[in-house]
Structure formats: structure tokens, C-alpha cells
Structure 1
Amino acid sequence: MKTDLFIGGKWVPGSEGTFPVLDPSSGETITSVARAGASDVDAAISAAHEAWPSWAATAPRQRSEVLRRAFEAMVERREEIAALITQEMGKSLDDARGEVTYAAEFFRWFAEEAVRIGGELRTAPGGANRILTFQRPVGVSLLLTPWNFPAAMATRKIGPALAAGCTVVLKPPEDTPLTALLLAELLADAGVPQGVVNVLTTDKPGELVTRALADHRIRKLSFTGSTQVGRVLLAQAADHVVKCSMELGGNAPFLVLDDADLDAAVQGAMVAKMRNHGQACTAANRFLVHESVVDEFTEKLVSAMRAVPSAPVINERALANLEAKVELSGGKIQLGGKRTKGSGFHYPPTVVTDVPRDSVLGREEIFGPVAPVFTIQDDEDAVAFANATDMGLVSYLYTADLARGLRLAERLDAGMVGLNRGLVSDPAAPFGGVKESGLGREGGYEGIAEYLETTYVATSW
């Protein structure tokens, strides 16, 4: 198990000692990893900056083959990576296996996109010259990932950056740094040149990121995390006008209309709510159920949730936050509602009904296995309540009428809509939100564009 920093293709100790990584299932220390200091940040940026010209000039097919080998290595080592994710993050082994498969696909998808970076040639409308455009990598990229998907959030950023010809400095979260370090090892084995990928671990992220963004050589910032932190980073990035991608918080509504197939809706709800034990920005946050079916849907949901075993959330802070939100909700607890006794940070699947719309469960992202159920009267009421938030990452909608569903999907303030589906994430699809849920897109054809700049050449012949 690698626990040092990865800078310039070498494993080096941190200049500020180490910090512990805990197992959320038991609360015990797994190991300690290097804590990066200011000198390490400078060294990583220097390594990435020095490696950039050569990597940018590398033929797209060669970059593609490196990513393809990384994909194959992840598939081959799936059990090893999944076990590590389960140990440091706490999700079930089946969920961890699913994450590794999903994460590896970003390497395969962007291996294919690396050879499709395009340009354009056209005649200016006035006829005086030709308009020639080409795309080139933006430069050294600072990648900041969250703890809830330690493999997938890293590959979703590293994949397009390397495909575009950028070099990267990755800072994984303090709760789950081990998976990122394993990915660095895997990428080096796949043929990534020294300095192209650098990994810095720390439990003092504010200091590290502030230092990095003060360096003019950082030309791209990609962050996944809370809206509150995203605002701070955008302000810091403004000093050097750094190109930014932000995948921020959510408050996803899950609409169940009067004509919905309730069994299918509950099945989708379990995916949308309980994937990763509710610790996902795409998790269904508010269940908006038509008054004619709310009782039946709730009964079925409680039954399905009761069958799910209690699992750990990431840390004590997250556990206390869930307890407080349920206590302040003002609703009736139909299932769960109290932390599971014993070691670790376990919280059971919880269903709360009769929740006031202005309660904390209606206004804030929950990030845990808590499902608040709200009653809606009609389509207009559903859309109005769904959109009554500053967030707009994803919405879910269940109806037997496809045309009705598509009409409502167009009216939902969300970057993504799951129509009769509880899962929207796909490496081939553009992932991202509107309003305060973010800027830019990850995945899909759009994902690589976030790491490219367009140059226009005026010429004639």
C-alpha cells in the first residue's frame, strides 16, 4: 500500500509528516499517509509544468493507448481496488466493485475521445479570409476530488485531462486518499510519463489549495464538492483567471406522479437514494409524491428500506449532521432515525413523512440514508416545489405517460433528469448541474472540452 506523495514519477515523504486514515466501519486507523506542505505543492506543480510540453506534443494515439492500458489494469485489479475503497470509505464490496467498473470506463471513454480532438476550417462570411481553428490543452490542471467515490471522481477528471494533453496535480480527500495513490501507481505502470500525474495528500486542504491557486502555472481547476467550498475556490481562481469546472451540491427531487408504476418507482428510489448509502450528490433528496398514491408509495418504500442493512457514513461529523437534520425535520419517523449502536459511524435507512416543505430536509442536501416524503397535489405543484431550490444537479421523475414526463422534464431546473430511471450517471453522458450546482460538464463529448482551449487563425490563399 502506497502512503507517500507521488511527485514527478517518484514516491516521496511529505514535508509535514503524516496523518491517519480511518476505517468508517470501525473508527480505527487503517494507516497513515504523507501530509503535503508548501514545498511539496511547489514541487508537484513544477513537475507537472515541466512535463506538460512533451505530453501535449505526444501523439493523440499514444495518449489514447496509455489510457486504454489504465482501463485494462483497473478491470484486472478490480477486486484489489474495490477492497481498498470499502476499507477506507465504508461502502459495501458490491457497491465498490460497481464503482471500479464505472471508474475504469472513464479511462476507456476518454481513450477514445483523445483521438477525436477536432478543429474547423471555413470561409469568413465576407469572403476575405478563411477561419481556421484548432484545440490545444489548457495546461497544468489542479484536480480536487471528494471522498464518496474515491476512484470514479479521480478517473472522471484524470481521464479527460490526460486525453487532452494536460498534466495534473491531484489532491484526493483526506478521508479516502489511499485509492488515489493506488491509481497513481496504476497509471505509472500503464506508461504515464514522469510528472504528468502527481498526487498530493493532506488533512489541511485549504492551505494546500490556496498555495496551488496562487501559482500562475495552474491554468485549470476541477472541483467536486460542496457549493460553499466551490464559491471560495472560484474567488481564489479569479486572481489568475483560472479556467474552472465545478460539480457542486444537489437537492434532487424525486417526483412520483399519480399514474406512476409504484413498484418501479420504489425500485428506482432505492437506487437513487441508497446508492453509496445516500452519500452522493445525485442522491434523491426530496420525495415528492402525488396525494393519491403517497400512502401506498410510502408503505412500499418503508418495506424496501427496512430490508437494507445499516452501513457506515464517512465520519462522526457526517453522522452527527444526519441526526440533527432528522431531529429538526418536524416530520414523523416511519423507519430508523437514530444512529446504530456499536463501533464506527453507522446510520440506518430512515423514512420521514409529513415533513414541512420549509424544513431542513426540504431545503438542504442530506447526504445520507434519509428519505423525506412530501405530498404534492398536481403537476404544477410538483414542478414548483422541485424547482424551489438554488441547486439544480439532477431530478428524477416517474410517470406512465412518456409525453407527460418529457414535458415536465423540460421544465425542471436540472442539468440531468432521470425519467423512469433511478440512475443517471454514465461516462458517455454529460454530467453536471445548473444554478448553484456547478459549472461545466464531466463525461460525454463535453468532458474533454473542459481541458481544451480554442485558437483561431485568420488566413487566406
Structure 2
Amino acid sequence: MTETAILPAACRDLLDSVPTGLFIDGRFRPAQSGATFAVSDPASGDTLIEVADAGVEDASAAMESAVGAFDAWAATAPRERSEILRAAFDLVRKRADDFALLMSLELGRALPDSVNEVNYGAEFLRWFAEEAVRINGRYTTSPSGNGRILVTHQPVGVALAITPWNFPLAMGTRKIGPALAAGAPIIVKPAEETPLTMLALAQVFDEVGLPPGVLSVIQTSHAAQVSAPLIDDPRLAKISFTGSTEVGRMLLGQAAQNVQRTSMELGGNAPFLVFEDADIDLAVQGAFLAKMRNGGEACTAANRFLVHADVAEEFTSSLMDKMGQLQVGPGYAEGTTLGPLVNQQQFDSVAASVVGAVGEGARIRLGGEAIEGAGYFYPATVLDEVPADAPVTQAEIFGPVAVVSTFTTEDEAVSAANATEFGLAAYIYTRDVDRAFRVSERLESGMVGVNRGVISDVAAPFGGVKQSGLGREGGSEGIYEYLTTKYIAFT
């Protein structure tokens, strides 16, 4: 049982230093209506702080500011854009401890995971600072010999980024970095649960001299109302969304009306395949990372462990031992390695997924019972003997629950892995290089990890197939999501 968390003085001091207004036209300001909403501590349910609650009129102001900033920012020298991004990277790194603690406060996650996100999220600023000066085109002679072909790239226009609660820094920098590098102003609507990190990032950009209007942050408690008029505005050129497939489908429908460019990083249902020849110690370590990063609240989290029957018990027992060592507590408390889930809705969803799996015949090997008391704490849980077609295998769990099923043949494993509408990430553990290539190519997934449990890399394209979305973020591909291609014909 947990007790109500009491915020340490350092946490309260940090909250007192965070901007709470909307960031529009280069300054923090209250919502025009004067409305605010509460940001809560998932470890207790108590209010951490009140922030400005954007309305339609605030969204309109952000759009006007972005449109007004576009021409000058697009014409800004790539090196200058690069240096602003690099300065922002340096300042985020300087404030790494504050960013990590802030994320653990509003998201609930254990502080070590927040430290990892600061390192990862900041790198997008450095990466795209370098990409800003490497936007390439081409100049060739037409094959017919009657002219020349010039291909160039230009900023797409004003972009809207809608970011999720589970990685409040990295999901922002992964969108802001390429937009600013490309010369496109961007309006960011962070998740209602975790706006503080994005406000702190806006403060960083303000301090390093980003011109007014190039970045806006408009947190709100009524996302659909605020986003709809922005998407309806024909001056909006680009939408980048990370979140559920259900919401992504709706946004795609709205974007179609003005034929806006879209990037959609949607739901996942990652399979984790362990073959009979795998290094089991290595596979368990990778499974732990793939499952428990961010407490399981990650779109790339391993959702289904498909393990060869010959090694299933060895793998499951070892995974139980490793997950059983996690220390549950407030994310910002010393020694915590598993914080609470983000809110009551997520807590209820995870608890229901376990109850449903047991009802389908699954066996609880570890955890499996909700923790009573304040906050949204759920223990590390391992289930085995899960039918391959059980409902728990078809939806994202988004929590600290590992679901183990078995297979006996490679074809059976691949078939089970692909038996989902999603296709974001997948993982394979095997010592057979031929099998690694063969299975990787057969898996219907945008990203595959071979003998590694963490695959996110700023230098690699991140994205999925099927109902997991379209477009790519990060890598050298990411900046082109914010650029249009222009062909100029010369005689």
C-alpha cells in the first residue's frame, strides 16, 4: 500500500520556477478567457500547479503569430537556424536535472527514466542543428538533352505538433527540431497531463533568441475544440501527431479537407520474439528494457512476448526475477525504479487488461493485483500461458505488464507477430544471422530490433506501417517532413 506523496522542497521550488502561461508571439501570457487547469501528481492525485488553459481565440493568436513569422524565419540563413538549435541543446543539457525532475513530477515516471529522456530528447536539437545546413537538392541535365533539372527544397509552412504525455520532452524536440531546422514555424499543443516540460522548453528557446512567433505552445484541457480551427485554417500546412490510432484517424480526416501534409506516429503492439537458439540472459535483459522503459508507457514497448516453447520457462522465470526487483514509489523519490501510471484512466485500463487475460486462461506469475492507496500505482506483472489470440494481445497495454505466449516454429512465430493491425516496432532474439535477416524482412513493422531491446535513435527514422501511422521522424529523413520539393526546369 502506498501513502500520499509529500513533495520535497526541491520539487516545490522547481514548480515555482516553471512558466504557466501560453507561449505565443515570444512571450508567456494568460489565456484570453483567464481560464486555467490543474496539472496533477500521479503519485498522489494532488494538484501540482495550475496552468493557462488555451481556448479557440488563443489558438487563433498563435496562428497569426506563426504566419507573421514565416517569411523571415524561412529566409533565415541555415547556419543561424542551426546555431539557435544548438544553443537550445546546450541549455537543455545544462538544465538536465531540472527537466528530469519536472517530467517525474508531472508524468510520474521513475527519475532514472526521466534522466534518460532528457539525454534522448536533447539530442534531437543537436541532430537537427546539424541537419539544418545539410538540406540537399540536385542539378542535372535532362536525359533528352533539351534542358536542365533543378530540384530544391523549401519550408512547408506553418506546422502544428500534437504531442503525447508519455515522453513530454522527446516527442516535442523530435518535431520542433526538424521544423525549425527546415525554416517552418511550429505551434505545439502538448498533452493536458504533461504541459510543464514543454513550457520549460519554450522558455529555453526564448532565452537563446528564437524570434517571436516561430514557436508557440498552447496547452489546453479541451484539445479537440482548440485543434479543430487550426486544422480548418488553410494557412496550416503541416500536422505532426503522436498518439492513439483512433485520434490519428480523425485528424487524418480533418487534414484531408485542406490536403495538409501529415506525419502520424500512432499505436503499437510490438511483438518480442525469442527463438530457441537465443542467448536467454541477453534476451531477458532486452525484454526488460523493451517492456519497462518508461514503466511500460511507451509506444515501442514490447507488448507480446512470443517465446519458443523449449526456452519459455527459463525466459519467463528470469524475467520474473528481474521485474520483481523493481521498487515502486513516487517517481521523484530516491530509490524508485517504477513510478505510478499517469492517471486513473490508464490505471483502470492496465488493471482491466490483466483481469481480462486471466479470464482468457492466462496465469499470473508475478504481480497482477492493483496496489491500494493514493496514486495510480500498478506493480510489475508477468503473465504466461496467454492464448495467442486473447484480447490482451491485440491492444496496447501501456503499463508494466508482460504477456508471454509460446510458439514452436518460425512460421508460427512470424504469423503471430503479424496478427495485428499495428506495425510500429518488433524485436527478435536469435544467434542465427540468416534467421535474423529473414524474420526481420517478414515482420510487418516499421522498426525491428535484433538482439537489442531499445531501438530509438535520433539518427534513425522512427515510424510505423499499417495502423501505426505514416511518415518518419528523426534521422536524415525527419527534416524532409517539413520541406516541400520544388522542380525548376531550365533550358
Provide TM-score, normalisation by structure 2: 0.93
Alignment of 1:387-426 (within 5 A): 387-426=418-457
* Greater shift in the superposed pair: 126-135 or 354-363: 354-363
Q: Distance in 2 between matches of 1:364 and 1:95?
A: 24
How many matched pairs?
460
Mapping for residues 198-347 of structure 1, pairs under 5 Å:
198-310=216-328, 311-329=339-357, 330=360, 331-347=362-378
The answer to whether the aligner puts 1:189 opposite 2:207 as a matched pair is yes
Q: Which residue type is aligned with residue 434 of structure 2? A: A
Q: Matches of 1:97 and 1:350 in 2, distance apart?
A: 24
Q: Deviations over 1:312-353 (max 9, x none)?
A: 000000000111111111211111111112210000000111
Tell me, yes or no, if the aligned pair for 1:309 and 1:348 is still in contact at 8 Å: no
Matches within 5 A, 1:114-129: 114-129=132-147
Number of the residue aligned with 1:140: 158
Q: Report what 1:435 is aligned to.
A: 466
Provide the C-alpha distance between the structure 2 equivalents of 1:87 and 1:154, rounded to a whole number of angstroms: 18
Of the three residues 58, 83, 97, the one matched with 2:101 is: 83
Amino acid at match of 1:185: Q
**Partner Cα separation in structure 1 for residue 379 and residue 95 of structure 2:** 31
- The aligned runs of 1:444-459 (5 Å cut-off) are 444-459=475-490
Residue 5 (structure 1) aligns with? 22
CA deviation profile, 1:343-377 (whole Å, cap 9, x unmatched)? 10000000111111221211111100000100011
Equivalence map 1:53-68=2 (5 Å): 53-68=71-86
Counterpart residue number, 2:6: none
Match of 1:14 in 2: 31
**Secondary structure class of the residue paired with 1:121:** strand
Query: Unaligned regions of 5+ residues in structure 2, if any?
Result: 1-17, 329-338
Return the alpha-carbon distance in structure 2 between the equivalents of residues 71 and 53 of structure 1: 25
- Report deviation, 1:92: 1.1
Shift of 1:171: 0.2
SS of equivalent residue, structure 1 residue 160: helix
Deviation track 1:299-319 (CA, whole Å, cap 9, x = no partner) reads 111111111123200000000
Query: Please, what is the CA RMSD of the aligned residues?
Result: 0.7
Q: Deviations over 1:16-40 (max 9, x none)?
A: 4001000101111001111111110
1:103 aligns with 2:131: no
Partner of 2:13: none
Q: CA deviation at 1:293?
A: 0.5
| Cα shift at 1:454 | 0.7
Distance in structure 1 (CA, Å) of the matches to 2:372 and 2:320: 21
Amino acid at match of 1:358: D
Q: Aligned match of 2:394 in 363, 367, 370?
A: 363
CA apart distance, 1:15: 2.6
CA shift digits 1:143-167 (9 cap, x unpaired):
0000000000000000000000000
Residue type at the aligned position of 2:309: E
Distance 1:94 1:252 in 2: 23
Q: Distance in 1 between matches of 2:263 and 2:64?
A: 22
Q: Deviations over 1:46-79 (max 9, x none)?
A: 0000001000000000000000000000110000
Percent identity at matched positions? 53
CA distance in 2, matches of 1:337, 1:205: 33
Once the two structures are superposed, residues 186-208 of structure 1 have per-residue CA deviations (whole angstroms, 9 ceiling, x without a partner) of: 01111110110000010101111
Q: What SS class does the counterpart of residue 288 from structure 1 fall into? A: strand
Which aligned runs of 4 or more in structure 1 are off by greater than 4 angstroms? none
SS in 2 for 1:380: helix
Report the 3-state secondary structure (helix = DSSP H, G, I; strand = E; otherwise coil) of the residue aligned with 2:139.
Answer: strand
Alpha-carbon shift at residue 402 of structure 1 (Å): 1.8
Q: Distance in 2 between matches of 1:103 and 1:321?
A: 28
Letter in 2 for 1:328: G
Q: Distance in 1 between matches of 2:315 and 2:112?
A: 27
Amino acid at match of 1:62: E
Conserved? CA contact 1:15–1:35, under 8 Å: no
Aligned-residue offset at 1:403:
2.1
1:50 aligns with 2:68: yes
